[in-house]
Chains A and B, each alone.
Chain A
Amino acid sequence: MQRFLDPQVLAGISSLDLLARTVVDGFVAGLHRSPEFGFSQEFAEYRAYTPGDDLRHVDWNLFARTERCYLKRYRGETNSQLTVLLDASNSMQYTSRPPSKIDYARYLAAALFYLAIHNQRDAAGLIVFDEEVREYIRPSTRPGQLARLFAGLEQATPRAQTDFAKPLQHFHNALHRRGIAIVISDFYEKPETIIANIASLRFRGNEVILFQVLDPQEIRPAMKGSAILVDLETNHRIEVIPEYTKTAYRTKIDAHVEQLRSRARAAGMDYHLLVTTQPLDLALREYLTLRQAGD
C-alpha cells in the first residue's frame, strides 16, 4: 500500500477523487498497524440522548438492556475546520521530474480534504491564491463539498507571482471559527515577510501549518555546465556556473529553509519541508496530530 503514497505513482492518476481516496485509504491502512494514532471511527464516549439528536446514532443494544437512550460518540465526531491556502503562482509549476510542485500541492490538498471530510467529518475549505485570491471555497461539511474542493483544485493552474498579504487578509475576513489552516507554497520570499503575513492567522486561535513544497533540483541542483536560468515568475535571465550551485547556492537555500523553520516555530506554527519525491503520509500524519491536540 505504501507505494500508492509515492508521488510518482500518484502522478499517473488523473482523478483527484481517486487519488485522494488512494492516498488516504493507504494512509489509514498504515495507521491500523500503528498504535500511536487513532482516527475518526474510534469510540470516544456515551452521551445521553436529547431531543433533536440523530436516531441513527442511538445504541439500541444498550437501550434494550437498560431502557436508557444513549448515543454512541466517536472521536471523529468532534468536528474541526480545515482551510487549505494553496499557492498557485508561476513558481509552483517548476518540475525536474513528475510530479510538479503544483501537482504535488494538489495531491496533498486533495488528500487532506478527503481525510478531513470523509474520515474525520470535518469542515474543509480552500483558498487558491497567487498575488491575489483566485478561488475561495468556504469550509463546510455539506454533501458535495468534497467535489467542490476537488474542482477548485483542478482549476488551480499556476500564474502570476506570489503575494501572501492579500490572501491572508481575505482569510481573516472569511474565517469566523477557529480551526486548522494549512498553507502550501514554495515560499520563495523572505522568511520574515512570510511569517509576518501568516502569523496573524494564529490570533484567532487557529492552528497553522506551513508546508513548503520544493523540487529536489531546487535543494541540490545538478548542473553539467554553465547555463542560462529563467525566473518563472519575473522572467529574468542570468547565466550561472555549476561551481556556484555546488557551493553558495546550497548554503543559501539551506539557510532559507532553516530560517523559515525557526521563525515559524517561534511564531507558534508548524513548518514542514516537503520534497516532491516524498510520500504524502507525512503531511497527513501532521494534520491528524495537530487535530488530536486541538480536541
Chain B
Amino acid sequence: MGFLAPWFIAGLAVLGVPVFVHLLRRHITTPSPVSSLMFFERGTQSSTRHRRLKYRLLFALRAALLLLLVLAFANPFVRRSAADANGRTHLIVLDNSFSMRAATRFADAMRQALAALEAKLPEDKAQIMALGGELEILTQPITDGAQLRSALEGIQPGDGRASFSDLARAVRSLAETEHGPIDVELFSDMQHSAMPANFADMVLPGNARLILHPVAQGPTVPNWTVESIEAPADLSDPRDPRHSRVRAVVVGFGTPAARKTVSLIVNGKTLATRRVEVPANGRATVDFAPLDVGYGFNRCAVAIEGRDAFPADDTSIFAVRRSDPERVLFVHDAGDTRSGTYFGAALAAAAQGSYVLQSMAREQTTDVDPSRFAFVVLSDTPALPSFFEHALIPYVFKGGNVLIVLGTRAARHAPIPLWGGEVQDTHNYARSGNAAAVAQVDFSHPALEQAQPGRDNGGWSEVKVLYAAVVDPAQARVAARLTDGTPLLLEKQLGEGHLLLLASGMENLTNDLPLHPLFVAFVGRIARHLSGSESLSGSSLVDAFVQLRAAGVPVGTVASLEVIDPEGRRPLSLSQARNAQTFQLTRAGFYQIRFANGRDAVIGVNPDRRESNLESLPNDLQQLWSGSSGDHVPQTASAPSDDKKIQPVSLWWYVMLVALAAANAEIAVASRYMGTQREEA
C-alpha cells in the first residue's frame, strides 16, 4: 500500500482544529443577566458531564472526517496483479466469412476456438463474436462456460465478407466499458482482402492484446471464380443481339494460365458452354448470346466447370425477367409533335425494344387508365383533363412514376399537375443571348448515373438551355442545376411513386438536349428508373440492402410486402413486414421479394468476390497488427497468458465514500446536540 500523492499527508495538520475546539479550548460560559433569580434554581453538574460526552462523539466524527479527506487527497493505493484487479476478458472471435468455406478452414477454426474456450480460467469472462459480414456479438462477457460453448458451436459459415477494421472498431467500443485487460483471440484465415485500406483502422485499444490463430498456413491456394456478370435485368426481345447477351468475367487468384469451361445455366438447364483461356493471375471475358429465356423471372447462373480448391465461388447467379415490351404513355399538347418524336426515338434506341411509346394528346386522355403503363410522361401539359389527373394521383401513390416536362406552356399555367407546387417564374435565356448551361449534375441519381463522368460534366456542359421554368425545390431532390442555380431536374416522392420533373422541354426549342448523344442514355436511364426494372431483377452482393418501401410513406399503411430467402423461408415476421423499410440480403442465392408497391422481384445474391482471393496476410503484417495491441508484444497462436502484471489500484473512491458517510453522521450528531432545542408546549 502507498500513496500516489503523499505530500497531501501534510494536511493531517488540520486535525489540530477539532482537537483545539473540543479538547484544548476552555469552556467559557458568559454570564447571562436576568431580571431576578427569584424563580430560578441551581443545577449544574450532571448537565455539563452529559454535554461533554456528546461533544466527544462529535469530536471523533469530525476528526475522522478530516482524516479521511486528507487520505483521499493523498490517493492511497494497493498493488494487485492486473488480472486480479479487474479479471481478464477473453474475446473469442470466429471468422465465418465466405472464404472460411474453403477446404477445412471453418472446421479448423471452430476446433481451435473451442480449445481456447476450454483453456480459459473459470473466473475469467469471455465473449463470443462472429466475424462475417457484420460483426455479430453472440454473448455478453460472461463466465458461464456452457453458454459460451453453445454460442460458439452455433456459429455457421456465412456468405459475408470479413473486415478487420470492423473487428477493431468493436474492440475499441468494448474497451470503453471493460477497463480490464482484454485478450482478443481471432480464429480466421487472415484473408488479405479483409484488411482495410488504412492500417490505422485496425489498431486495437491499449488494454487489448491480440492473439491470432490463423487457420490457412502455407502458400496461396489457386482459385478461379466468376468475378462479374453483365446481363440484362429485363429482357423483352431475346433476338436483339445487342441486348440479349450475358458477359461474364472469369478471374484467377494465384492461378497459373489455364483453359476453363464456362457454362450458362438458366433455370437449372445448361444453355451454352464456352471455353476460355484464363491467363495466370488474370481475367478472361466470356459472352453468351443470344439469351433465350422464357417469360417471367429466370434464375440464371454462370458456372466454371471443373472443381478447384474453393468450389463455392465457381458459380455466380443472376435473374433475368422476360416480358413483353412495356407501354409508356406520352401525353403532349396537341400542337406539340416534336417532343414525342425526340423522346420516342431516344427510348427506342436506349431500351432496345423494352418499351413501346404510346403518344397521346392531352385531350384524349380522359378515359385512359394510367395503371396499364410502365410510367407516364407529361410533356409540357400543365392543364390535364380533370378525370385523368384524378386517375394519376392514386396511380402515383400506389407506386406509379411520372416524368413531368415543363416547356413554354408552363408559364401560362402556374400550377404543376401532381407536383403540388407552382411555376414561380420562367427564365428566357434566349432574350439575353446567353444560353444557360448545366452546371451541377448529381451523378448518383439513377437518371443521370455515370460511372466516370468526363471533364465536360459527363457531356451535360455542352447542353444549351434557352428557356427554363423556375420551380421551388421544397422537399424535392435536385439532381441537376443550371449555371444560374435554377433547378433543371428534380425528383419528389409521392406515396410509393416518384415524380421526376424536367424544368425545360424536349421539343428542341427550349434547349438542344435532344440533339446531344447523352439524351439517349438519359432517356434510357429515366425509363429504367421510372419503370422500376432496375430493382426488380438482376444480381446483388451479400450484405447489400434492398429498399422495401418508400421512406416517406407512413409505416404500416401498405402491408403487402413479402421476402422469401434462398432456403424458402420468410425472414420477416408479420410486424417486421409492416414496418421494415429495408432488408439486408445476408445469404447467397435467389431472393423473392414482393415490394410494398405491389411489384415482384427476384434477385440473385452473390458473395463479395474479394472473398475468393484466398491470399493470407503476410506474417510480418500479422505480427505488426498483434504488436499494435496493448503490450506491444507480438503474440503467436499459443501465447501463454499467465503473465501477472502488477498494477496499483487506487482506493480514492472508497475513502471518499467512507468520508461521505462520516460527514453525514457528523451532520446528524451536530444537528441533534447543538441545534436549537424545540420548545415544549
Q: Which residues of A are at the interface with B, using a C-beta cutoff of 8 A? A: 91-92, 94, 101, 186, 188, 215, 218, 220, 222, 224-234, 236-246, 248-249, 252-253, 256
Q: A230-B32, A232-B34 are in contact. Are A222 and B679 (CB under 8 A)?
A: yes
Residues from chain A with Cβ under 8 Å of B557 in the complex: none
Shortest distance in angstroms between A221's beta carbon and chain B's nearest beta carbon?
A: 8
| Extra A-B contacts (20), CB below 8 Å, given A188-B38, A228-B29, A229-B37 | A91-B35, A94-B34, A215-B35, A222-B677, A224-B676, A225-B47, A227-B29, A227-B31, A227-B32, A229-B32, A229-B33, A231-B36, A232-B35, A233-B35, A240-B40, A240-B41, A241-B43, A241-B44, A248-B41, A249-B39
Residues from chain A with Cβ under 8 Å of B32 in the complex: 227-230
The SS class assigned to the B binding surface is: loop
Give 26 CB contacts A-B under 8 Å. A91-B35, A94-B35, A101-B35, A186-B36, A188-B35, A220-B679, A224-B674, A226-B43, A227-B29, A228-B29, A228-B30, A229-B33, A229-B34, A230-B31, A230-B34, A231-B33, A233-B35, A234-B37, A236-B37, A238-B40, A239-B29, A239-B44, A241-B43, A242-B47, A242-B677, A246-B680
Shortest distance in angstroms between A256's beta carbon and chain B's nearest beta carbon?
A: 7
A224, B42: Cβ atoms closer than 8 Å = no
Shortest distance in angstroms between A262's beta carbon and chain B's nearest beta carbon?
A: 18
Q: Which residues of B are at the interface with A, using a C-beta cutoff of 8 A? A: 29-44, 46-48, 51, 674, 676-677, 679-680
Instruction: Give Cα distance in the complex from A229 to B572, angstroms.
Output: 90
Instruction: Give Cα distance in the complex from A295 to B539, angstroms.
Output: 123
Residues from chain A with Cβ under 8 Å of B680 in the complex: 246
Instruction: Give Cα distance in the complex from A281 to B677, angstroms.
Output: 33
A233, B36: Cβ atoms closer than 8 Å = yes
A244, B51: Cβ atoms closer than 8 Å = no
Q: Which residue of B lies closest to A253 (CB)?
A: B39
Residues from chain A with Cβ under 8 Å of B36 in the complex: 91, 186, 188, 231-233
Instruction: Give Cα distance in the complex from A222 to B33, angstroms.
Output: 14
Q: Which residue of B lies closest to A252 (CB)?
A: B39
Instruction: Give Cα distance in the complex from A252 to B39, angstroms.
Output: 6
Which 4 interchain pairs have the tightest Cβ spacing?
A91-B35, A188-B36, A241-B43, A239-B44
Instruction: Give Cα distance in the complex from A215 to B33, angstroms.
Output: 13
Q: A231-B34, A232-B34 are in contact. Are A226 and B39 (CB under 8 A)?
A: no
B40, A229: Cβ atoms closer than 8 Å = yes
B677, A224: Cβ atoms closer than 8 Å = yes
Shortest distance in angstroms between B212's beta carbon and chain A's nearest beta carbon?
A: 75
Q: Which residue of B lies closest to A254 (CB)?
A: B39
Q: A94-B34, A220-B679 are in contact. Are A243 and B40 (CB under 8 A)?
A: no
Instruction: Give Cα distance in the complex from A248 to B34, angstroms.
Output: 16
Q: Which residue of B lies closest to A226 (CB)?
A: B47
**B31, B676, B677, B679: which contacts A229 (Cβ < 8 A)?**
B31
Instruction: Give Cα distance in the complex from A133 to B42, angstroms.
Output: 34
Instruction: Give Cα distance in the complex from A236 to B38, angstroms.
Output: 11
Instruction: Give Cα distance in the complex from A228 to B33, angstroms.
Output: 8
Instruction: Give Cα distance in the complex from A253 to B615, angstroms.
Output: 106
Instruction: Give Cα distance in the complex from A240 to B41, angstroms.
Output: 7
Instruction: Give Cα distance in the complex from A160 to B41, angstroms.
Output: 23
Residues from chain B with Cβ under 8 Å of A241 in the complex: 43-44, 46-47
Q: Which residue of B lies closest to A256 (CB)?
A: B39
A186, B35: Cβ atoms closer than 8 Å = yes
Shortest distance in angstroms between A258's beta carbon and chain B's nearest beta carbon?
A: 13
Instruction: Give Cα distance in the complex from A27 to B512, angstroms.
Output: 105
Q: Which residue of A lies closest to B51 (CB)?
A: A225
**A222, A225, A244, A256: which contacts B41 (Cβ < 8 A)?**
A244
Instruction: Give Cα distance in the complex from A252 to B40, angstroms.
Output: 9
Residues from chain A with Cβ under 8 Å of B33 in the complex: 94, 229-232
Instruction: Give Cα distance in the complex from A228 to B31, angstroms.
Output: 5
Interface centre among A230, A238, A242, A246 (most CB of B within 10 A): A238
Residues from chain B with Cβ under 8 Å of A230 in the complex: 31-34
Residues from chain B with Cβ under 8 Å of A220 in the complex: 679
Residues from chain B with Cβ under 8 Å of A239 in the complex: 29, 42-44
Shortest distance in angstroms between B28's beta carbon and chain A's nearest beta carbon?
A: 10
Residues from chain B with Cβ under 8 Å of A237 in the complex: 31
Shortest distance in angstroms between B27's beta carbon and chain A's nearest beta carbon?
A: 10
**B37, B46, B48: which contacts A238 (Cβ < 8 A)?**
B37
Residues from chain B with Cβ under 8 Å of A228 in the complex: 29-32
Residues from chain B with Cβ under 8 Å of A222 in the complex: 676-677, 679
Interface centre among A92, A188, A234 (most CB of B within 10 A): A188
Instruction: Give Cα distance in the complex from A215 to B36, angstroms.
Output: 12
Q: Which residue of B lies closest to A220 (CB)?
A: B679
Q: A224-B677, A228-B29 are in contact. Are A243 and B35 (CB under 8 A)?
A: no
Instruction: Give Cα distance in the complex from A227 to B44, angstroms.
Output: 9
**A92, A226, A231, A233: which contacts B51 (Cβ < 8 A)?**
A226
Q: Which residue of B lies closest to A222 (CB)?
A: B679
